[in-house]
Amino acid sequence: MFEASVCETLSKEMSFLSDSRRDDDAWEKATNDEVSELLSHVNSHELVRLAAELNNGIPCIFQPGKHSGINSTMGCSNYHCWLIFDTGERWIVRIPRMGFTDVPADLVDYLVESEYATLKFLESVNVPTPKVFGYGLVSDHSNRVGVCYIMMQALPGKPYGAHDASPAQKKRVIEQVANYLVEISKHPLSAIGSFAMINNQPQISAVASNRFVAIGKY
C-alpha cells in the first residue's frame, strides 16, 4: 500500500512536471513564432536608412532584440530592436507586439503616437527621458517600415524591481519620482487627455485607452 501510494504520488508529480515542460515548450514556441512573424513585417533596410538620415548620415546596422531569458528586451506590449551606429551610439526601435492582444489597429496607432508625443513633451520640461527621433504608423501610407514603431535613444541602466531593491534604493526612486511630478506640475495643461502629434507638436487630445482595461479613445 505504501509503495503504491508513493508511486502514485511520484507519478502525479512527474505528470505535473511533464505538463509544465509542455506548457513552457508551447509558450516558447508561440513566442518565437510571434517574434518571427513580427520581424517578417519589418523593413529593416528602411529603418536603417531613416536612422542614418536622422543622425547626420552616420551608418548603422539593425539588430533584433532578445525576446526571452535574461536581458530580454520584450515586454507585454512591445518588442524592442536595436540600431547600432558606427560611432557606437545605440538607438532602440520600439514595436508593438502583434497577435498578443485584441487591441484594434487604429488604437495601436493612437497609442504609439501618444507615447511619442508624451516623450516629446517631456523633452521640453526638466524631466530626464529618452530622446525620441521618429515614429511611424501602419495607417500612414508613407511609412515603408511596415509596422508601427518609435525610434528612441537607448539609455544605460537596469530595470527597477521593487521586490529586489533595498530600502535606500526604494527611497531614492520614490524621491526622484516625486521631484519629476513636482516639475511636471509647473507646466499645467489646458485640458485632461493624452498627448498626440498635432501640427507636428505634442498637444492634448483624446484620452488614449489603457490597452489592458478599456478599448477605445475618450
- For the chain, the domains span 1-41, 44-156+188-205
- Of 9-18, 95-104, 105-114, the poorest mean pLDDT is in 9-18
- For domain 44-156+188-205, the CATH class is alpha beta
| Of 94-103, 142-151, 201-210, the least confident | 94-103
pLDDT of amino acid 136:
97
Question: Shortest CA distance to 202 belongs to which of 107, 120, 111, 109?
Answer: 120
Q: Report long-range pairs for 125-133 (Cβ below 8 Å, ≥24 apart).
A: 125/183, 125/184, 125/186, 125/187, 126/183, 127/180, 127/183, 127/184, 130/92, 130/154, 130/155, 133/51, 133/54, 133/55, 133/91
Asked if the model's pLDDT at residue 180 lies above 50, the reply is yes
> For residues 31 and 142, what is the distance between their CA atoms, to the nearest angstrom?
30
All residues at 6 or more sequence positions from 56 whose CB lies less than 8 Å from its CB, including other chains:
none
| Cell numbers linked to 13 | 508529480
pTM of the model as a whole: 0.81
208: helix, strand or coil: strand
Tell me the pLDDT tens digit for each residue of 16-74: 444 555 587 887 888 888 888 889 999 999 999 999 999 999 999 999 988 877 777 78
